[in-house]
Structure 1
């Protein structure tokens, strides 16, 4: 009888252990399913966050293309003025300012991607073609952005080569429109002293800068088209992955 009881208790204990193990395995399976579900939700949110950043890049490109067109038009006016037989200093200076003031730097919005990488959650993006595409995207657009900066530095170097603003008409334009803080006698004497026309000696230098602005703007336009192509490519990929609720 004692042996029978021991055998029953042993079988009972084994059964209890098996039930506990099964319970643990079921709990682990449920937990794993929950974790995978959370990871899938997070992955989907990341795709949409990345797409939102890319859409900001697209909007930025659209705005920059508008600024580039304005710079084109201003540069054409600048060239036409300097091509005149006797270009007027004031008119040249007034066409100079809008031609050079527009900012055209492109900076990709990498906030979401940087956050994903810094948090160590890049592994949640299971489709590695996406991460490869993103890496290539930022590499390419950053390279194009460097080309834009180089283009701008070359233009700035040209401008800084001017040895005087006297013959370029900058002072003439200033004293015509913005001389409230200067005494009237100084203003009248300055206007009498400053040349009305750009001298032949200085005309070639300004002509060179005006033409360089036009060609630099053309190059900028070409770079922006390359960036836009990169933006459209990655945008199309992320639109397929982002399933907004």
Structure 2
């Protein structure tokens, strides 16, 4: 094609048709410019298609993380329900002043055991660290994504502070040995019968004025309160997660994975 155009130019010059040559040269330049513009447009079009497809892939990855979060939050709420049931049972036994302290200690761990919800954030961390989120074309959805993870960070901070304060109660008993940590079924086998027979066995559960009775009572009461609070926080996170997961549904093209 280049040889063809060159031959035409040479013929025009050899025939002395300068004016026609100039017109032809200008026309050739215009054709070249048009060709370049078309090539650039096609390239930009292809790049935009790649960006749109990549954006859909990211939506899918965020959606997968959210689906994992939904399952883990539901497990967390169930665990908190079980903790409340255990704590209430322990309190009933405490106020009924059971003779056998082991009945209280058997329910102690289930009544204070925590379930830590850890959000799945691999997708959003990858997107934000690479700066890709700023290029998302769907501004409304981008705002929803940013709002969700901002709210999640705040609620997770509240959850962690509550759990930290509650966990600290396990280490504030006046006298660990008198309390009977060594008699809790979970730890008992580690001591052995000989050592257990030598360690304190104080029936503080029968004395409402005993400091251990009061500390235990407060600890289990707080378990019910903190569990209820954590449930509400997890429900807020769950609501936000489900909402965003639903918004992503129509924007996630699973075929691009």
TM-score by length of 2: 0.84
* Equivalent residues in 2 for 1:6-155, closer than 5 Å: 6-103=18-115, 105-155=116-166
Tell me if the contact between 1:92 and 1:168 (Cα under 8 Å) persists in the aligned partners.
no
Structure 2 residue 206 is matched with structure 1 residue 195? no
Structure 2 residue 243 is matched with structure 1 residue 233? yes
Post-superposition offset of 1:197: 5.5
Post-superposition offset of 1:199: 4.5
* C-alpha spacing 1:49/1:162, structure 2 compared with 1 (3 Å): same
Higher CA-based Rg? 2
Tell me if the contact between 2:97 and 2:206 (Cα under 8 Å) persists in the aligned partners.
no
Tell me what 1:223 maps to.
Answer: 233
Tell me, in whole angstroms, the C-alpha distance in 2 between the residues paired with 1:139 and 1:32: 34
Tell me what 2:5 maps to.
Answer: none
SS of 1:166's equivalent? Answer: helix
* C-alpha spacing 1:243/1:175, structure 2 compared with 1 (3 Å): closer
SS of 1:85's equivalent? Answer: coil
Tell me if the contact between 1:175 and 1:187 (Cα under 8 Å) persists in the aligned partners.
no
* C-alpha spacing 1:53/1:188, structure 2 compared with 1 (3 Å): closer
Deviations 1:62-116 (A, max 9, x none): 121121122112212221221122453222111111222232x333222212211
Deviating runs (4+, > 3 A) in structure 1? Answer: 1-4, 173-177, 181-184, 186-190
Tell me if the contact between 1:108 and 1:138 (Cα under 8 Å) persists in the aligned partners.
no
SS of 1:198's equivalent? Answer: helix
Post-superposition offset of 1:242: 1.2
Tell me, in whole angstroms, the C-alpha distance in 2 between the residues paired with 1:106 and 1:183: 38
Tell me, in whole angstroms, the C-alpha distance in 2 between the residues paired with 1:175 and 1:154: 23
CA RMSD of aligned residues (A): 2.4
* C-alpha spacing 1:13/1:173, structure 2 compared with 1 (3 Å): closer
Tell me, in whole angstroms, the C-alpha distance in 2 between the residues paired with 1:24 and 1:130: 36
Count residues in correspondence. Answer: 240
